[in-house]
Structure formats: structure tokens, C-alpha cells
Structure 1
Amino acid sequence: MLELRNVTAGYSRAAVLHDVSITVPPGQAVAVTGHNGAGKTTLLRAAVGLLPLKRGQVLLDGEDVSRLAPNRRVRRGVGYVPQGQLCFGQMTTLENLQLVDTSISAIEEVLETFPALRAVLGRRAGLLSGGQRQQLSMARTLLTRPRMLILDEPTEGIQPNVVAEIERVITELTRRGDLSVLLVEQHVGFALRTTDRYYVLESGRVTASGDGGDRAIDAVRDAMAV
């Protein structure tokens, strides 16, 4: 379980998040949505340790990890897929995966999750489509065997068929019960179809929250329109 408790964080002296509390229960997926500039990416950076807190706590399975460096949070089971489909462009898809784990069985497991990557294992990652790079970025993170997967705008700039594939993967991963997901996403339909609960951020504050699912789409859009 990941819990952000009364978190205030920002850059230099300016606070971007103000007293934000969010909980991701074990085996569930939670979406954070809101307009550009609402503080969504800042929230994730605070959760993974890339941004120090001004106030509040980050707890992982009940342990306060607020002062732990990002690599130590990774060792405790946090996996982070940042915005931008990051990869090592001059290396092949397979080499990108092998940077994390050279085990054939581990790589085979993530290829079963992202079968589209099989056809491009020998291709330089810089030549992949945006959707393929996003799948590669997620696959590489899953090789660390996280218990808490944090995704920043996974559908940004990718084609609809890959959006559907990522939706399938998130649903399957959480259905197994051994992985939780915290998802930042502006695509409201995608966010709510793949998650059990949502939070809406506006100007760095939680302005609405509730259960996920298609029935919540209108409520979230209304909250974001205010």
C-alpha cells in the first residue's frame, strides 16, 4: 500500500501541492487526473523521492519512506514509468530490457505481457513508434518486479490500439492481486476504466474523489470543469 499523507511539495520556495492525501490500497489501481499544471507530475515525483517534501509523509506498506532516496524506494518495490516514453535510443529493444535483467525467463515474462515487443527485439529503441517505446518503458520497469507501479501519462501521444493494450495490461496486473498501480492521466475515460478509485487535482489540491469505473466519468468531467 502507498499512502501520501498531507503532502506539501514544490520547487524552491514555491509549493505546488498543498496538503494532499492519497491512498493506493494493495492490489488496486488509483487514478489522479486534472488539467495541465494541476500538480499531477509533482505528486508522482514526491511519491518516488525525486522531490523532497516540505511537509507530510510518504508511507509504503505502513513504513515512512519520506526521506529515502529513489533507488532505495525501488528496492522496496516501487516502480516508476515517467512521462515521455524514455528509452536508450541507440540500444536495441532487447538490450534495453537486458540492462535491467539478463534472465531469459524474466524477459520472456514481460514479453508475454507486451507481445508486440517480440517483433522489434533487434530494432534500435530510437526507431520504435511512440506506443512501442511506451510498452518498452513499462516492460523495463516491470523487470524490477515492483509491488507499486507508478505511471505518468502512459497514453500521451500514442495510437489508440496501444492505449487499449496498456489498458489491458494494467487491468491484468492488478487483477493478479500482487501489484498496485498509481496512474496519472488526463484521458478520463481510460483512467476510470482501468482504476478502482480516482482523485481530481486542481491547483495542487484534491477537489474530488470517488470510486472508479465508467459511471464516474461524468462526475470527474464535471469536477474538472469547475
Structure 2
Amino acid sequence: MLEIDTLRAGYDRTTVLHGVSVTVPKDGVAAVLGHNGAGKSTLLRAAVGLLKPAGGTVRLDGEDITRLAPHERVARGMAYVPQGQQSFPHLTTAENLQLVADGRLGVPPRRSGRGGGKGAVAEALDLFPVLRELSGRRAGLLSGGQRQQLALARALVTRPRLLLLDEPTEGIQPSVVAEIEETILALARRGGLSVLLVEQHVGFALRAARTYHVLEAGRVTSSGEGGSGAEQTVRAALSV
């Protein structure tokens, strides 16, 4: 699905990624783990086109998309949820979702599946029932956990083939963390969607992931198959 090969990227004259290679399996989850400053968010930003790489390639289903603009990657089926529970705070929950469904953010909506934009919004709300109850509330008045669920729902409204998640459980109350984790696991189980997951919670990341990669100072220091059996290996890699 997604192949990142020897990617080099950074900011100004500072190189953050030093030849990183990561593969996301089709209809599966690849987890990227590492301490703060390891380059995890930089990797996602380069993958989605928000950061121009200095070298290496990014391929989606075999197509070289390294030089494509972010909106062109979204049109090909990529969706990105950055850190920070981002939303339009003065718009309601429903309006936030409808903006994406209508393509008013400059990205033509993907119409695969039933019901077009309305159907995509309904599917997203089915995954996060609390948002249906809060559809008339302004996003700025939602809790952090509710805003994160809204950010995930907005990404899913585009009906992506590849979802990039940057610390989706960061700063969220434990009860909502469990809901978000279960939703991501359910998406992974049902197929039709690949996920590149950056996550600090090792246990959850490995439960969700078919494969994992540990980043340290912008380099992959450990890779392998996911699952609970890999937790000791990953924790050992992270403790170095």
C-alpha cells in the first residue's frame, strides 16, 4: 500500500530523518514508535506531502507520489489526522463534517461507497455515536476527547484508503482513549483501510499493528511483526 524508501527530510538546514524506510501493508496497520524528537511526526508530514523531502521516495500502490502536493495525495485516498484535536472551533460538529463532505476545503470529495457525501458523514457518525448527539454543538465547546473523535471522523468522511494518525490518544481522558482505540482496531479489522499509526501507548499500538518500526534520532532501529508478543522487544528498543 504505502512504501517509504530511504526518506530524508527536515527543517531548514536540520536533517530529522536519515534514510527512513517504512512499509504500510494493504488493509493493515503499521505502527511507528519512538520517544519525543525521534522524527515520528516529521515522517507523517513528509508522507502526506506537507514537508518536502531531501531524498528518498514515497509510493502509494506502486505510484511514486514523492513530488505530489498534499491535495493530490488526498485525492488518491490519503487522509491525515495531526496532533492537537484540530477542528474549526466556531462551527458545529455537523458543519465540520459537512465541510469535508462537500469538498469546501479545496479537496474534491471521494464518492466511492453508498450515499455520496451524506452517506460518508453517516458512516463516520456511526463510528462515533457521541458526535451525533453533539451535532449542533460548536467544536470549540467539545472536550479534548470529543474533538479528537471529530478529527478522526472528518478524516474518515473522505473515505480514505490510507489513514495517517499522529498520536491519536495523546492528552485524552482514559475513558475516551478506550473508545478511540477500539474504533481504530475495528477499522483495521474490517479491511479496506490501511493505517500508519504514530503512537506512544506501546500496548495499544502493537495490538493494532501488523508491523512496527521503532525510530530513534531519525533512524529505524528496530522493525518486526506486531502483536502482544512483540511488546517486550519494542520496550527494550525504546529503553536504549
Global fold match (TM > 0.5): yes
2:147 maps to which residue?
A: 133
Identical aligned residues as a percent: 65
Using the alignment, how far apart are the partners of 2:142 and 2:133 within structure 1?
11
Kept in 1, the 8 Å contact 2:5–2:22? The answer is: yes
2:71 maps to which residue?
A: 71
Kept in 1, the 8 Å contact 2:58–2:65? The answer is: yes
1:197 to 202, 205, 211: 211
Please list every run of 5 or more consecutive structure 2 residues that lacks an aligned counterpart in the other structure. Answer: 103-116
How many residue pairs get matched? 226
1:124 to 138, 146, 150: 138
Question: What pairs with 1:1-226 in structure 2 (closer than 5 Å)?
Answer: 1-101=1-101, 103-226=117-240
The CA deviation at 1:105 is 2.4
The CA deviation at 1:186 is 1.1
Deviations 1:101-160 (A, max 9, x none): 154322211111111211111111001011100000000010111000000000000011
- Scaled by the length of structure 1, the TM-score of the pair is 0.98
Kept in 1, the 8 Å contact 2:30–2:211? The answer is: yes
Deviations 1:46-77 (A, max 9, x none): 00001111110000000000000000000000
Calculate the aligned-residue CA RMSD, in Å. Answer: 0.9
Amino acid aligned to 2:163: L
Give the 3-state SS of the residue equivalent to 2:23 in structure 1: strand
Amino acid aligned to 1:87: S
Deviations 1:2-30 (A, max 9, x none): 01001011111221000110000100001
Using the alignment, how far apart are the partners of 1:167 and 1:9 within structure 2?
30
Runs of at least 4 residues of structure 1 off by over 3 A? none
Using the alignment, how far apart are the partners of 1:192 and 1:45 within structure 2?
22
Amino acid aligned to 1:93: T
- Scaled by the length of structure 2, the TM-score of the pair is 0.92
Amino acid aligned to 2:154: R
2:114 maps to which residue?
A: none
Kept in 1, the 8 Å contact 2:120–2:158? The answer is: no
167-176 vs 180-189, which deviates more?
167-176
